[in-house]
Structure 1
Amino acid sequence: MDSTSGNDELESAVSHLWQEHLQAPFPAGLRGAERAGIDLVLLDADAAGCVSAWLSGGGSLDDGRRSVLHRCIADLDRILPALGPGDDTPYWQRMYRLSCWVARVDPRPAE
């Protein structure tokens, strides 16, 4: 497979998962909440903004957004083990997967 078709496949996968994510409401009860010292609304907004920019930018990010996205991935790595009942873990796992795909980072295995 050439790199163009690989990029097309990645964009298609991200687009599909992104549409699924957009249909999911932000987890109830987490507005203003923190896990592992990380503001969940801000994390969600930052990661979502990067994914959206990547999709609208034809599969690329500027250096600033790339830096923000890598920070989001590190934050998601920290919050995922700290999530409890009612925190909608699948929502955060989906955002983690999207962020890793866009950053072209291999996601860690799901727990």
Structure 2
Amino acid sequence: MSESTEQVQTARRLWEERRQEPFPDSLRRVTFEGTDVWLLELDIAGCVLRWLDNGGPLDSKNSVLLQSCIEDLERVIPEISDPAAVQYCRRLHRLAVLVSRNPPGTT
């Protein structure tokens, strides 16, 4: 299996896991250092859907947005006390990092 095929399959699997699991109640209306966690999730979801639907790179605006979300999650995750919410956010982070790399068919 090629690296790009594996990247797409992993992204699709993580996306499906994310879709199956509800957003943790413990993170609703939670703000860490001015970052609303539910907004991070929403922004990442939009970028992931664009990446999966287009099978190609994100435009520069969405690439910048996704990188910002990754950095915000890296600051937020250590502050979360609910283990299920930490797991949810780690999976979201992994998915965002995966999508932020060069997608299949790009150089």
TM-score where L is the length of structure 2: 0.86
User: After the TM superposition, which of the residue ranges 19-28 and 34-43 deviates more from structure 2?
Assistant: 34-43
| Distance in 2 (alpha carbons) for counterparts of 1:21 and 1:14 | 10
Residue 45 of structure 2 corresponds to which residue in structure 1? 48
Q: Which residue identity is paired with 1:8?
A: T
- Aligned residue pairs, count: 102
Residue 64 of structure 1 corresponds to which residue in structure 2? 61
Residue 21 of structure 2 corresponds to which residue in structure 1? 24
Question: 1:87 offset after TM fit, Å?
Answer: 6.2
Q: Work out which structure has the larger RCO, using CA pairs closer than 8 Å and 6 or more positions apart in sequence.
A: 2
Please, which runs of 5 or more residues in structure 2 have no aligned partner?
A: 103-107
Whether the 8 Å CA contact 2:24–2:88 is kept in 1: the answer is yes
Q: In the TM superposition, what whole-angstrom CA distance separates every residue of 1:50-96 from its partner, at most 9, and x where no partner exists?
A: 11111011032111110100000000110011111366111000000
**Going by fraction, where is helix more abundant, 1 or 2?**
2
Q: Which of 15, 34, 37 does residue 37 from structure 1 map onto?
A: 34
| Distance in 2 (alpha carbons) for counterparts of 1:37 and 1:87 | 22
| Distance in 2 (alpha carbons) for counterparts of 1:36 and 1:70 | 17
SS of 1:84's equivalent in the other structure is coil
Please, which runs of 5 or more residues in structure 1 have no aligned partner?
A: 106-111
Whether the 8 Å CA contact 2:27–2:85 is kept in 1: the answer is no
Q: How does 1:62-101 map to 2 (within 5 A)?
A: 62-85=59-82, 88-101=85-98
Q: Which residue identity is paired with 2:29?
A: G
Q: Which residue identity is paired with 2:62?
A: R
